[in-house]
Amino acid sequence: MRKTLLIIQREYITRVRKKSFIIFTLLGPLFFLLISILPILISSANKSEQHITVKDDSGLIVALPDTAGLYFNFKYNDMPLDKLLPLYSTLDDGYDALLYIPKMEPDAPYGIEIYSKEQMSLTTKIYLESIIEDQLEAINLKNEELDKNMLLKLRPKVSIDDKVTSGENQVEGDAAIASAFGFGMGFIIYIVLLIYGTMVMRGVMEEKSSRIIEVIISSVKPFQLMMGKIIGIGLVGLTQFFTWAFLITLLNIFVGIAFGGQLSELQQAGNTGDGNMQAIADTMSNLNNLPLGYYLTMFIFYFLGGYFIYASLFAAIGSLAGDEDGDVQMFAFPVTMLILISIFIMTAVVQQPHTPLAFWASIIPFSSPIVMPALIPFGVPTWQIGLSLTLLFGGFIFTTFLAGRIYRTAILMYGKKIKIKEVIKWMLYK
């Protein structure tokens, strides 16, 4: 045990002191911060004002609201179109566009045109169509002696609140939040398994190729060495994860302070009746109802279980390294495919979390570390989580046992191309 602890200490200290680890650990949260604030920055930088003069021959459009960076002017409405068209860009301080509305009936709005020196954006075009439609709709309702408010009452807006029931208890739910959190936790574990599993494999390969393994094995049992390396690198991964969590929390606080104005605008938009903004505001409010402690605990359990399963397999694969990397790639490919298949399944079950596929993928040890964390926000029975964790850690013990048998034989084998039949014999050899 003491020797294993020394190996764990060596692997951990050596890796956390590397400049690459320090830089990646510190820059990672900045990357997440950039993703968080980039939409705000882009939105702020992309704001532009457009001044549009309107020529309305129909007499139907009295005024257009100045919103979304668009400003309308009916100042030259009496000027003929053929005279206004060559002059609109030079009148006053210059207009960006000329909106022409011909004579038409409000129920047949045809022939509306907009002239501009540069191609009009699709967003602006859609917005113009929308506000003109609203005004023509109001005219049609008035002509038919209909009340718009009465029509809105006849077609009320439906908003469904998520409620997750468990026995007599009810908790607030949110499908969007559940999907986002579920996918996020599954994806993080997927990345961790690939990065740190491959790190274990590369570490074993480097020690074997440099023949330093021969010196280490003289004083440490192969199984102790393998477990020390797996646990040490796993602790490196946990250190990085918790460091990221801490720094991201601090950065989120900073973002909240720095961009509080934009967030307040979002909340105000939600309170003024904008359906989309209201949905976003409600989703942000529901974040406070999440059992983050429970999610974090489950994340750690599945992270550890999944990591130990795949790290032990990658360690065994690394010990099979010969003179050519192709030998290792041949054995690593099936293991990598298991991880990739799991992320594909996870993507599917997040959309449909209560299917037989979701159930079986959540309890099979090779896929449960990625799939189950994605399902937990949707409400998974306690017995299913218990069964999944039991099989997961049972799978860890089994794979570690088999990997240890491969490792103890292959780690000191050089200059020979290893075949699958031989690997199977090593697993069965006592």
Q: Based on DSSP, count helices (H) and strands (E) in the chain, helices before strands.
A: 16, 6
List, for residues 108-137, the tens digit of each pLDDT value: 778 888 888 777 777 778 888 888 888 888
Spatial distance between the Cα atoms of 242 and 236, rounded to a whole number of angstroms: 10
Instruction: Please say whether the beta carbons of 357 and 366 come within 8 A.
Output: no
Spatial neighbors of 70 by CB under 8 A, at least 6 apart, are: 49, 50, 52, 124, 127, 128
Residue (of 123, 97, 110) closest to 60 by Cα position: 110
Indicate left, alpha or beta for 92 from its phi (over 0: left) and psi (-120 to 50: alpha). left
H or E stretch covering 296: helix 292-319
Q: Of 23-37, 104-118, 134-148, give the range with the top mean pLDDT.
A: 104-118
pLDDT of residue 256: 62
| N- to C-terminal Cα separation, the chain | 22
| Mean per-residue pLDDT of the chain | 76
Spatial distance between the Cα atoms of 248 and 28, rounded to a whole number of angstroms: 9
Quickly count: other Cβ atoms within 10 Å of residue 228's Cβ: 22
Which runs of consecutive H residues, i.e. helices, occur in 46-145? 81-84, 122-143
pLDDT of residue 281: 47
Indicate left, alpha or beta for 165 from its phi (over 0: left) and psi (-120 to 50: alpha). beta
Spatial neighbors of 387 by CB under 8 A, at least 6 apart, are: 363
Model confidence at 364, pLDDT cuts 50, 70, 90, reads very high
Q: How many CA atoms lie within 13 A of 418 on its CB side?
A: 30
Spatial distance between the Cα atoms of 315 and 264, rounded to a whole number of angstroms: 51
Residue (of 274, 305, 270, 304) closest to 285 by Cα position: 270
DSSP code string of 190-218: HHHHHHHHHHHHHHHHHHHHTTHHHHHHT
pLDDT of residue 151: 59
Name the β-bridge partners of 50: 70
pLDDT of residue 48: 67
* Secondary structure of residue 126 in the 3-state scheme: helix
CATH 3.40.190.10 in the chain, residue ranges: 50-147
**Which of the 8 DSSP states describes residue 108?**
B
pLDDT-wise least confident of 222-226, 257-261, 309-313, 395-399: 257-261
Fold (topology level) of 50-147: D-Maltodextrin-Binding Protein; domain 2 (3.40.190)
Model confidence at 199, pLDDT cuts 50, 70, 90, reads confident
Radius of gyration (Cα) for the chain, nearest Å?
32
Indicate left, alpha or beta for 44 from its phi (over 0: left) and psi (-120 to 50: alpha). alpha
- What is the three-state SS of 387-416? HHHHHHHHHHHHHHHHHHHHHHHHCCCCCC
